[in-house]
Chains A and B, each alone.
Chain A
Amino acid sequence: MYGWIWRHLPGNTWVRALCSLVLVLAVVFLLFQYVFPWAEPLLPFNDVTVDGGGS
């Protein structure tokens, strides 16, 4: 999978490394900005109130 991505990136090794870094940062950004805030309320780690259902 990662090998496939690497082979399909353009340019020489340095350009590919830079592209990979940008891709990794983009994925981390998407996770922190959209995926984790969406997933967090669905997981039972942060319910602090007593209300029967948790919020």
Chain B
Amino acid sequence: MSERDHGGAGQRGASATEPPPDPQPPARNRTGTRRRRISAAIGVFGELLITAGLVLALFVAYSLWWTNVLADRDSKRAGDRVRQSWLEDRSPGSLDTKDGIGFLHVPSMSKSDVLVMKGTDAEELNKGAAGYYTKPVKSAMPQDQSGNFSLAAHRDGHGAKFHKIDKIGKGDAIVFETKNTWFVYKVFSILPRTSKYNVDVLDPVPKESGKKEEGRYITLTTCTPVFTSTYRYVVWGELERTEDVDPERTPPKELR
């Protein structure tokens, strides 16, 4: 304001009737304006960078914490529905498997059980469940006389049900609980790192595990190393025995 008044005052004497032409700001002020614009632009750029950093930090919080909150809530709800439908004991044909077919217990990995659903798409796995493969190699069911019961679950986020899969050692027990049967498997082979294209690990007779003959196997797959999906981690087990579920649902001795 004061600059403008100052410039106008100099012109007033030359022509009193005409309004004074817009005064040219002095050269020093022009560079000052330019400098101010540049610093403002840098300021906005810096604020955008800070914003990007905050958004990335929020994304980490979302991936590692919030998805677990949602998934644990979903899987608890679905698991409760499964147990409830088992309790209600409807006729055998009407067993509803939409919410899940049973629970996986791996004492060396986790104290809690993992709900098992059909399918390994994000839709199932993001509910905090493990899924059995329907593609690219169709999983066998535990009650089948031979075949490979192949499962996948998240390593991080969305419940992170297989987070501690590296704690499973050879000889450890994997127990799958269905409405009427406990399937007790024993781990016999571990593949700590393989390509995501290695779908042979899901074969009915997974050769890489060292097995040559048909049997009743279980395969757990997840991603490795933690927090990334560069490779896949695979654990194989073989059925040791089955136990009928008693009225109290007494767990087999491996889980006690």
A49 touches B47 (CB 8 A): no
> Which of A1, A39, A47, A51 is in CB contact (< 8 Å) with B136?
A51
Q: Which residues of B contact A41 (CB under 8 A)?
A: 122
Tell me if A14 is interfacial: C-beta within 8 Å of chain B.
Answer: no
Tell me if B52 is interfacial: C-beta within 8 Å of chain A.
Answer: no
Closest residue on chain B to residue A41 by CB atoms: B122
A32 touches B47 (CB 8 A): no
Tell me the count of chain A residues lying within 8 A, CB to CB, of chain B.
Answer: 21
Report the bound CA distance from A35 to B90 in whole Å.
42
Tell me if B184 is interfacial: C-beta within 8 Å of chain A.
Answer: no
The distance from the CB of A43 to the nearest CB of chain B, in whole angstroms, is 9
The distance from the CB of A39 to the nearest CB of chain B, in whole angstroms, is 7
Report the bound CA distance from A50 to B136 in whole Å.
8
Stretch at the interface among B8-16, B97-105, B194-202, B245-253: B194-202
Tell me if A11 is interfacial: C-beta within 8 Å of chain B.
Answer: no
- Of residues 45 to 91 in B, which have CB atoms within 8 Å of A's CB atoms? 47-48, 55, 58-59, 62-63, 66
Interface of A, secondary structure class, is loop
A-to-B contact residues, CB < 8 Å? 1-3, 28, 31-32, 36, 39-41, 44-52, 54-55
Q: Which residues of B contact A3 (CB under 8 A)?
A: 43
Closest residue on chain B to residue A3 by CB atoms: B43
Task: Assess A46 versus B158: contact at CB under 8 Å? Given A51-B136, A54-B196.
Answer: yes
Stretch at the interface among B29-37, B140-148, B174-182, B220-228: B220-228
A1 touches B48 (CB 8 A): yes
Tell me if B133 is interfacial: C-beta within 8 Å of chain A.
Answer: yes
Q: Which residues of B contact A36 (CB under 8 A)?
A: 58-59, 62-63
User: Could you list 26 A-B pairs, sorted by A, with CB under 8 Å?
Assistant: A1-B48, A3-B43, A31-B58, A31-B59, A39-B59, A41-B122, A44-B228, A44-B229, A45-B227, A45-B228, A46-B63, A46-B156, A46-B223, A48-B120, A48-B152, A48-B229, A48-B232, A49-B133, A49-B232, A50-B194, A50-B201, A50-B234, A51-B133, A51-B196, A51-B199, A54-B229
B55 touches A47 (CB 8 A): no
> Which of B58, B122, B201, B202 is in CB contact (< 8 Å) with A55?
B122
Q: Which of A3, A41, A50 has the most CB of B within 10 A?
A: A50
